[in-house]
Amino acid sequence: MKIRILITLLTFTAFTLAAFAQQAGSNSTAQSAASAQPAASSSPTGAAAESQPASREDFWDGDEPSLGALIFHPFATKEYVRRHVQPIRDRVEELDELSATHSKMTRDVDSRAQQGIQLASAKVNLADEHAQDAANKAQMAHQTTASLDTRLTTDERVVGSIDQYKSGAQTEIRFRPGQTVLSKEAKEALDEMAGQLKNQHGYIIEVQGFSSGQGQAAAASSRKMADSVVRYLVLNHEIPAYRIYVIGMGNAAVEKRATGTRVEVSVLKNDIDQVARQ
């Protein structure tokens, strides 16, 4: 506590002595100027420079003051402050310029990075679009393949059933011995059978002629009767000739059928018509 009081007293004394010294210096300067003024006025040929009092050099305009000078003359001039503050200000401005340059470089780097990110994002989006397009095409190809598989299965079933014929309606046309002309009853029977085949597909008509007699004569006679039946179907009902198969059986007995002069007309059908409608 005593040490603090002593230090405070010494500091107050120093400031008091400094103020007193400054005041005394000012008074002595004023007296010197007053005494020099009469002398200057008494000399008729004094130079103009000698008539003006020399400006006293400020305390702070010299070299760096000592500690004692600072204590006894603590008041600084603007020039002194400017001379000592200007290097610091220049350094601060230099640091500001460097900071601004670094900020600009950082912004440029960020801008280029953003552009690179945007370009990469655009390429990724384009790649995603291509991948999606490829996936859609693959899906379409898969669907097409499945459809072709289904169609192929159907076609295989159709092809497999082309030569698989089943017996349908049978009509027997009777002839008198030695005659090949169709009777009225025979034509009506053929009309009824042909009417059922209108707009039908996947059928053939088997026409077998049977005749009494022996050898080649019986075969020829049975063929003529079968040809008359075929001619009537083609001309009157426009049945394609390629759907009609004609056989002259002569006097052969097939599966113990009824004997006599006759023509047996059989309709054979496969499943191609039903498959085509599915």
At residue 91, the 3 state secondary structure works out as helix
Position 74 pLDDT exceeds 60:
no
Distance of CA 203 to the CA centre of its chain: 55
Q: What is the pLDDT of residue 18?
A: 57
Query: Could you read off the pLDDT of 249-275 as tens digits, one per residue?
Result: 887 765 445 567 889 999 988 866 555
Collapsing DSSP to helix, strand or coil, 175 comes out as coil
Kindly tell me the burial class for residue 208, based on how many C-beta atoms sit within 10 Å of its own C-beta (0-12, 13-18, 19 or more).
Answer: buried
Confidence of residue 131 (pLDDT cuts 50, 70, 90): very high
The CA distance from 31 to 256, in Å, is 177
pLDDT (0 to 100) of residue 175: 87
What pLDDT digit, counting tens, does each position of 175-218 carry?
887 788 888 999 999 999 988 888 888 889 999 998 887 788 88
User: Sorting pLDDT into bands at 50, 70 and 90, what band is 20?
Assistant: low
Domains annotated for the chain, with CATH where assigned, are: 2-39+56-76 (no CATH), 166-277 (3.30.1330.60)
In order of 188, 211, 249, the CA distances from 216 in angstroms are 30, 11, 10
Which of 211, 205, 218, 219 minimizes the C-alpha distance to 171? 205
pLDDT of 47: 39
